[in-house]
Every structure is written in C-alpha cells, then in structure tokens.
C-alpha cells in the first residue's frame, strides 16, 4: 500500500462533496474533535432551532402549545416524520420521545409477555450496560431471575459477537431479543436483516439499540421487519446533551396497549377530554408517556435539516473513507508502539469509529486532550476515535495520528495517571 500523507489528506478534503457542512458547526480553535460517537458538536442550525423555541415560549407562553411557527403540541410528530428516513421507517412508525433506556423499558413493558416456555430475553455480553440494567429490571418486575432468564451471547474474543452465535442461542424459550446495531466499544455492525429473519423463524420478537448507528449509516427497519428499535440523538445526530430519544414500532404491532401508559400516548383529538379510560394513538405515538421535553427536542429540528441535505448515503461513504484512512495511518505510523486496531476492518462490519487498544489507554487519552485532540476512553484499555463525516476532515485524521505518534515517541503520556475521569 502507498504511504498515506498529509498531501493526500488535503486532496481528499478538496474532493469532499460534504466539506462545506463543516462550516455549520462550532469547532473550537486548535482542537480536533474525535468524540462525536459520544456527543456530537453543536451546529448553528441546532442553536437557532433552540433559540426559536425559546422565543416562542417568551412570546406566547402557554399558547405556544398550539400557536407560533412550530406548535409544541405537534413537535414530536413533526420531528418523527423527519427522523423516519434515518431508520428506514414509515413516519407513523417512529416517535421522538424519552431516552434510550426509558424507550427500552417501554418496549419490554409492552411486548415482553412471558408465557409457557417463552420466558427469556436474549442479549449479548458486549451490550451497553444501561440496556442490560433495563432488561434485568423488567425480568425482576415479572418475578423472573435474570440469572436464569437473561440469555447473554458470549463473545469469542472480547470484541466481536458472531451472528451465528446469536442465532444458535435463539431457542424456543426466547420471547424477545434486544441487540445493538453497532457494538459501542468495538464498532462492529451486526447483520440486522439476517438476525431479524432468524428471530422470526423462532417466533422471537426482535429489537435493536441504534445509538451507535443512527446518523452514521443507513437502516431499513420497516422492510427488514424488525419489531422495534430505540436510540439516542446526541451522538451522530448532534441533538445536544440529553436530547430526546427515538422509538420505532413496526406498524404490524399498532394497537398493542402501551405497557407504560401516559397521557401523551393518547389520540391527540381525545387527550384533553381528560377521560380516565385512555384512547391511545393509532401509531407509534401511543408509546409516549409524559409531556414532551420541548427544549430537549428543539435542536433536532435544525440538526435533522443538515442530515437531510447531506444524505445518509454520502455520509456513510465518507465515514468509511475516514476510518479507513485512520486505520491505514495507525498501521503506518504507530507500528511497534503497542496499539491494536480492535474494530472490524471490513467496511460492511465497521461502524463510524476506530477502536484502538493499548495498556496505557487512559494516560494516552489524557495526553491527546492536552494536545487538543478529543478522544473517548473506554476502560480498561480502549481508545475510541470517531471522525464524524459532517464536520471532520481527512486532515483532522492525519493530524490526530501525527499527534498520537508524537506522544508515543516522546512518551508524553507518562506525565498522566493511568485512570479514567469520573465521566469517560
């Protein structure tokens, strides 16, 4: 392979059809932001959308629920229609609501109905902890022992989960499977269509945590036949810290009574009748619970505009090129420094970030931050670097690895403690 150079990086940036989107974001001077898979940067449009909602509150007070340019009462449905193409769903199958974990609780409260032999939930041992906490608590609420009723698919190497191992675990005792679209640590993309088909052959309902894929790659949830999915919006979608999450319910399940019922799941024409017998919405909106967090939704109105203009296909293509460029530079510049590329190298199995392992990972992350590069540390020895296609450049990638090589050559990381901060 030819040597990767700064000149090549700059030429790739000149050819980049998405390069102008970088100007839409607030990028701090002398900083290379590589943590967009944890929290995306603020865009000017997200800022303006939030200011607009604040102004409507200022100008209209309570009348903002049904008045002004963007009535709050209908904001979840407005944003859901814009969000649906990002997950390959019909508009009525998506609702912007809750958070990742609260939406998973809603899914399980609604669709996990242990009966006969089917009393178990299938997950994997590399899943994000919050999903496992929710699954265990839902089992316990039904008087089931998680040690017996949570089936956790094992990893062969501590980094990847093989689809054949997941399918082998799909016994006639499994009622529901909850799996990530992309593993949060290694960035492995799971084959969602194949897993969905296998689950349905075994009479298993299946849903996916899309937190590390939504906004970074294309999905086709409706046509794949996935039963449900849930996700956050503050990573690749750049909705801001704690921005409102998303929920997908396949239309064949419409009419299932929400396990966690609340008044915003009502038919909007009936909601203010104040009847104690709920008339639920006839679409995914039925699975809302309480009053929407309007100010936490607002930035999405601006952010989703940017994604619609950029197009997920172009974003995914650039993302794969960025991560390929980064992996090549790691191989080229960091050989002998103790790093291991622990994410899949194949394009079809790789999400939006590169995952490096090193025994001194925590100290190296501290040294990178001191040099203006913002990485993401994952205990015990993981470094995640996520070049986001909307605002990172190939030059950013080249500079990141150049700085990392300098840190290793000079052993600058030894000035720092090898432990994570409170938030990593």
Residues making up the annotated binding site are 100-101, 128-131, 209, 212, 234, 263, 291
Which residues lie closer than 8 Å to 241 by C-beta, 6 or more apart? Answer: 39, 234
Annotated binding site for pyridoxal 5'-phosphate: which residue ranges?
Answer: 100-101, 128-131, 209, 212, 234, 263, 291
State how far the Cα of 411 lies from the Cα of 200, in Å rounded to an integer.
53
Choose among 249, 195, 260: nearest CA to 227.
249
DSSP code for 265: G
Choose among 161, 148, 276: nearest CA to 209.
161
Residue 101: CB atoms within 10 Å: 18
- Exposed, middle or buried, 347 (CB in 10 Å: 0-12/13-18/19+)? middle
User: E strands, 116-172, where?
Assistant: 120-124, 150-153
State how far the Cα of 150 lies from the Cα of 239, in Å rounded to an integer.
32
Q: Give the residue ranges of DSSP H helices in 248-375.
A: 294-310, 312-333, 361-370
Question: Which value, in Å, is the radius of gyration of the alpha carbons in the chain?
Answer: 22
């Amino acid at each position: 392979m030819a040597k990767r150079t700064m000149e090549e990086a700059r030429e790739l940036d000149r050819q980049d059809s998405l390069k102008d989107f970088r100007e839409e974001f607030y990028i701090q001077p002398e900083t290379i932001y590589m943590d967009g898979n944890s929290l995306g940067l603020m865009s000017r449009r997200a800022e303006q959308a939030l200011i607009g909602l604040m102004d409507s509150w200022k100008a209209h007070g309570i009348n903002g629920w049904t008045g002004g340019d963007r009535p709050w009462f209908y904001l979840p449905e407005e944003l859901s229609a814009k969000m649906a193409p990002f997950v390959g769903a019909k508009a009525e199958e998506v609702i912007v609501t809750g958070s990742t974990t609260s939406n998973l609780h809603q899914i399980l409260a609604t669709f996990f109905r242990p009966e006969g032999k089917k009393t178990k939930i299938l997950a994997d041992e590399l899943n994000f902890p919050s999903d496992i906490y929710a699954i265990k608590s839902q089992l316990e609420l039904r008087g089931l022992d998680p040690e017996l009723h949570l089936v956790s698919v094992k990893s062969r190497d501590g980094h990847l989960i093989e689809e054949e191992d997941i399918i082998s675990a799909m016994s006639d005792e499994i009622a529901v499977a909850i799996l990530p679209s992309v593993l949060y640590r290694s960035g492995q993309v799971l084959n969602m269509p194949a897993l969905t088909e296998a689950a349905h052959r075994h009479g298993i309902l299946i849903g996916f945590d899309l937190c590390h894929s939504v906004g970074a790659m294309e999905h086709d949830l409706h046509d794949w036949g996935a039963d449900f999915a849930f996700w956050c919006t503050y990573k690749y979608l750049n909705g801001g810290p704690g921005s409102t999450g998303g929920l997908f319910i396949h239309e064949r399940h419409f009419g299932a009574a929400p396990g966690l019922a609340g008044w915003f799941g009502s038919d909007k024409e009936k909601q203010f009748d104040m009847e104690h017998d709920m008339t639920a919405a006839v679409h995914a909106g039925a699975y809302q619970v309480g009053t929407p967090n309007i100010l936490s939704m607002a930035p999405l109105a601006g952010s989703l505009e940017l994604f619609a203009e950029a197009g997920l296909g172009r974003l995914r293509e650039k993302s794969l090129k960025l991560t390929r460029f980064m992996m090549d530079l790691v191989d080229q510049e960091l050989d002998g420094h103790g790093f291991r590329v622990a994410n899949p190298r194949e394009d079809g199995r790789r999400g939006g970030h590169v995952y490096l392992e090193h025994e001194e990972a925590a100290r190296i992350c501290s040294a990178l931050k001191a040099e203006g590069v913002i990485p993401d540390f994952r205990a015990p020895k993981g470094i995640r670097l996520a070049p986001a296609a909307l605002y990172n450049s190939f030059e950013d990638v080249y500079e990141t690895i150049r700085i990392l090589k300098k840190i290793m050559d000079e052993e600058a990381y030894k000035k720092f403690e090898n432990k994570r901060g409170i938030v990593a």
